[in-house]
Amino acid sequence: MNENTQAALPHDGRNPSGARPVVPRTNEGAPARLVTIFGSLGPNREKRVHYIFDRGVPEYGEIVHSTDGALESITPEVPAAAWYERELHDQYGIEIVGHPDLRPLIFHDNWLDEVYPMIDPVDDVPWSNREYRFLQVQGEGVAEVAVGPIHAGIIEPGHFRFSVVGDTILHLELRHFYTHKGTEKLFEGRAMEDGAMLAESVSGDNCFAHAVCYSQAVEAACAIDVPPRALGVRRIGLELERLACHISDIGGLCTDVGFGVPAAYAARLKESLLRAASQCCGTRYWRGIAIPGGLRFDLDSGKVAALTQVVARAHRDFSDIARLILQTPSIQDRFETAGILRQKAARDLAIVGPVARASGIDLDVRRDHAYGGYGQLEIPVTHYGDVMARARIRIAEAKVSAQLIQEEGKSLSEGSVFTPFVSQDGVQGFSAIESPRGELCYWIEARGGLLTRCHVKSPSFQNWPAMPFAATGNIIADFPMINKSFSLSYSGCDR
Amino acid sequence: MIFDVIEKSLGQPNRLIPVDGLLGDCDGSRMPDILADRLTAAIAQTVVDICPTTALRIEDYEGRRCVRLSYGQCIGCGKCIEFGGGAVVTAKQFTRCGVAKERTVRRWDIDSRTEITASTLPPDAARMQIHSLLQRALNIRQVDAGSCNGCEAEITALTNPYYDLERFGIHFVASPKHADMLLVTGPVTRNMADAVKSAYEAVPGPKLVVAVGACGCSAGIFAGGYAIIGAVDEVIPVDGYIPGCPPTPAMLVTGILEVLRRRVAK
């Protein structure tokens, strides 16, 4: 790394090349939780691999490896690393020695072997027809059911390959990255100030979380202090996004079990929040508001107050209907014991967000790696790990978010909402926030004010590999509901 | 219990927005509009320079120097409104939804400070054929060709009690084989291109294709990415374009009805 480079994170260790990184331990001696792994190019175009871990302390820890060729896989010790190492292989052509499954992840049959978009210019890659082999489950009565990439509803594309006996799922293999748009590469060459609008398009329904997280990474890199009013407005936006997503997810779960009335009810509540947001800040999803340094413009305090009133009303209605939904016997019959994600699997795969908290993992970035002025928070956790647990967690979190919006609305400080800054040369910045789906991270590096690398760790990329563990043993007809209870973004995962 | 849920729901007021409140409404999309009389060469240059997607350009059109605004490329970031010195404002009405590609572009003559109005285009055959066959019934198959899911969220909102697309006799269906119209979002990615073509081929004729959102219309902010092919019309023929990032439900309703020529000019 360049001498001028500011280290955004404390380094747990650095290893010149070759060997595998030593997985750090928590104070209790357990392996630290893997946050993300990504590659970058150094000033002399040497390949570097960054490992970010959470050792159970407020500061995240980073290990950087320089490598010219092969790197030893940490997947056998840290199963959560599996997709990250495959992505590293696809993007940078780094050979991962000892990885149990190095099939292409983000590139499909149409891509060429040995074309690595993060190190080579990649205009007009010719079309190819490589072979991709799904894992085959063999035995008497085993059938394969292929679903997707285009699904039956208004949802994003992805492929599920079920191996079933009768109705029961024996094995599920995911094949995603249909919406891979090369977004991380598109960040490169952009001015640091202009990256937020691209971050908003990584996952559209969590666009404010992405914009804030990106902005925080730039703020960390350039040591910018964001004014308190801007932080307060950001917290309102973030909690509103969480509330809208959770309401929408509960409605979606009802849709997937054929319970149309509460689904329409939830859709109405979500719409009331979006319309109130539009009145308050001009866009329904808070697009184009957060930028590095604070906010692009201030929000009128009267309009914020009107928004908090709509939130209070929507949440009151939501908590009533949510209680009634969970008391409905046919809902209990469908939700309970369906799609159980055991805590062991969740820990091995370093699962984040509401899915983790429904499987007994007490983790929330807002509290554990505090950012953006969040104070004391109630974090609901339960250990059942089924669809019902994930529904209950979302309902409980919606309540916390609605309360936070009320408190923030009342205590919003006065003053400016933007700190002007001068972008510095050779900087790195890291930021993590609790998006509605869980821990979202941005890591940026810039030279001369232009981004040279932007890595997005989306909670969906982290959580998708857990889906097969929750689905196995269930009947295939319950899969849409189990899938919805995870509520993952395809675009956020695929980028 | 199930009846408590229904009873609770019945107690809610009707939220349905009348159709006249939807057509042309673009609140929440931050689509820009240019006030021709305030346009200057300096403002034109400023807004063209800051536009992140080249939706705004300066070009020679029929020998006149003009600002070209391509709504299909606009992501509604609002920068031109912020720095446009009062000449660029947030549009109050936006009717260029579901129109042909040429109609998503507007031009203003910088020197004479007037908008250059284009001639109207004749309605095309498939649209009229579907309208005469189906009148008020239409089945839509939505296809995500690589979107960020912002457009999906808004298309899903079309079925909520505020917009209730079914009131027009329009349904979302599960299979392209049941569909009359494909509503395609997102820049078409390399990995989705074959699936999009297959879906198009599976729709029985006569069929309509509508490209939704800045990405569907022009690849939007993802233009030039190594993993995408581009706009929807680079892969399959498109009959109408609905700009916006994402287009609001009202813009989607306006666009879908426009494509159908529901409200056929009397």
What residues form DSSP beta bridges with A291?
A294
Q: Taking CB atoms and an 8 Å limit, are A324 and B76 in contact across chains?
A: no
Whether B65 contacts chain A with CB within 8 A? no
pLDDT tier at B126, thresholds 50, 70, 90: low
pLDDT tier at A3, thresholds 50, 70, 90: very low
The amino acid at B84: G
pLDDT tier at A422, thresholds 50, 70, 90: confident
Number of helices and strands (H, E) in chain A?
16, 14
Contact A42, A67 (CB under 8 A): no
Contact B182, B199 (CB under 8 A): yes
Q: Is pLDDT above 50 for A12?
A: no
Q: What is the pLDDT of residue B135?
A: 63
pLDDT digits (tens, 9 = 90+) for A60-81: 999 998 887 788 899 998 999 9
Q: Which 3-state string (H, E, C) describes chain B?
A: CHHHHHHHHHCCCCCCCCHHHHCCECCCCCCEEECHHHCCHHHHHHHHHHCCCCCEEEEEECCEEEEEEEHHHCCCCCHHHHHCCCCEEECCECCCCCECHHHHEEEEECCCCEEECCCCCCCCHHHHHHHHHHCCCEEEEEEECCCCCHHHHHHHHCCCCCCCHHHHCEEECCCHHHCCEEEEECCEEHHHHHHHHHHHHHCCCCCEEEEEHHHHHHCHHHCCCCCEEECHHHCCCCCEEECCCCCCHHHHHHHHHHHHCCCCCC
Q: What is the pLDDT of residue B123?
A: 55
Q: What is the pLDDT of residue A132?
A: 86
Please list every residue in chain B whose beta carbon sits closer than 8 Å to the beta carbon of residue A297.
Answer: 82
**Mean pLDDT (whole number) for A231-241:** 95
Which ipTM did the prediction report? 0.91
Whether B54 contacts chain A with CB within 8 A? no
The CATH architecture of the domain made up of B125-260 is: 3-Layer(aba) Sandwich (3.40)
Q: Taking CB atoms and an 8 Å limit, are A181 and B9 in contact across chains?
A: no
CA distance A389 to A338: 10
pLDDT tier at B128, thresholds 50, 70, 90: low
What is the third-level CATH fold of B32-93+103-116? Alpha-Beta Plaits (3.30.70)
Whether A142 contacts chain B with CB within 8 A? no
pLDDT digits (tens, 9 = 90+) for A150-176: 998 899 999 999 999 999 999 999 999
A326 to chain B: nearest residue by CA? B1
How would you class B135 by CB atoms within 10 Å of its CB: exposed for 0-12, middle for 13-18, buried for 19 or more? exposed
pLDDT tier at A129, thresholds 50, 70, 90: confident
Class of domain A183-494: mainly alpha
Phi first, then psi: what are they for A185, rounded to 5°?
A: -70, -35
Phi first, then psi: what are they for A187, rounded to 5°?
A: -65, -30
- CA angle, corner A320, sides to A374 and A470, nearest 5? 70
CA distance A400 to A340: 25
**Crossing angle between the packed helical segments B249-260 and B150-157, to the nearest 10 degrees:** 70
Interface of B with A in 186-215 (CB under 8 A): 186-187, 189-195, 199, 215
User: Cis link prior to A58 (omega < 30° from 0)?
Assistant: no
The closest of A189, A130, A251 to B191, measured between CA atoms, is A130
Domain A1-133 in CATH 3.30.460? The answer is yes
How would you class B237 by CB atoms within 10 Å of its CB: exposed for 0-12, middle for 13-18, buried for 19 or more? exposed
A328 to chain B: nearest residue by CA? B1
CA distance A422 to A237: 26
pLDDT digits (tens, 9 = 90+) for A180-232: 999 999 999 999 989 999 999 999 999 999 999 999 999 999 999 999 999 99
What residues form DSSP beta bridges with A163?
A144, A171
Residue A343 vs residues A360, A386, A470: alpha-carbon distances, Å: 6, 11, 11
Q: Taking CB atoms and an 8 Å limit, are A491 and B157 in contact across chains?
A: no
pLDDT digits (tens, 9 = 90+) for B99-125: 888 888 999 998 888 888 865 555 556
Residue with the larger pLDDT of the pair A434 and B24: A434
Contact B64, B116 (CB under 8 A): yes
Whether A120 contacts chain B with CB within 8 A? no
First vs last C-alpha separation in chain A: 27
Please list every residue in chain B whose beta carbon sits closer than 8 Å to the beta carbon of residue A492.
Answer: 149
Q: Is pLDDT above 70 for A18?
A: no
pLDDT tier at A20, thresholds 50, 70, 90: confident
**Mean pLDDT (whole number) for A374-391:** 93
Q: Quote the minimal CA–CA distance from B30 to chain A in Å.
A: 7
Q: What is the pLDDT of residue B125?
A: 61
Tokens at A450, concatenated: 């232009």
Q: Is pLDDT above 90 for A149?
A: yes
Other C-beta atoms lying within 10 Å of the C-beta of residue A215: 29
Domain borders along chain B are: 32-93+103-116, 125-260
The amino acid at B157: A
A201 to chain B: nearest residue by CA? B148
Contact A105, A138 (CB under 8 A): no
Domain borders along chain A are: 1-133, 183-494
- CA angle, corner A401, sides to A398 and A402, nearest 5? 85
The residue of B226, B248, B256 whose CB has the most chain A CBs within 10 angstroms, and thus the best one to mutate to test that interface, is B226
CB-closest option in A149, A198, A328 to B195: A149
The residue of B6, B191, B252 whose CB has the most chain A CBs within 10 angstroms, and thus the best one to mutate to test that interface, is B191
CA distance A205 to A490: 11
Q: Quote the minimal CA–CA distance from B41 to chain A in Å.
A: 25
Whether A288 contacts chain B with CB within 8 A? yes
Other C-beta atoms lying within 10 Å of the C-beta of residue A263: 22
Torsion of CA A204, A206, A209, A211, to 10 degrees: 0
A121 to chain B: nearest residue by CA? B226
Whether B149 contacts chain A with CB within 8 A? yes
Please list every residue in chain A whose beta carbon sits closer than 8 Å to the beta carbon of residue B177.
Answer: none
A248 to chain B: nearest residue by CA? B153
pLDDT digits (tens, 9 = 90+) for A383-417: 999 999 999 999 999 999 999 999 999 999 999 99
Q: How many CB pairs under 8 A join A and B?
A: 198
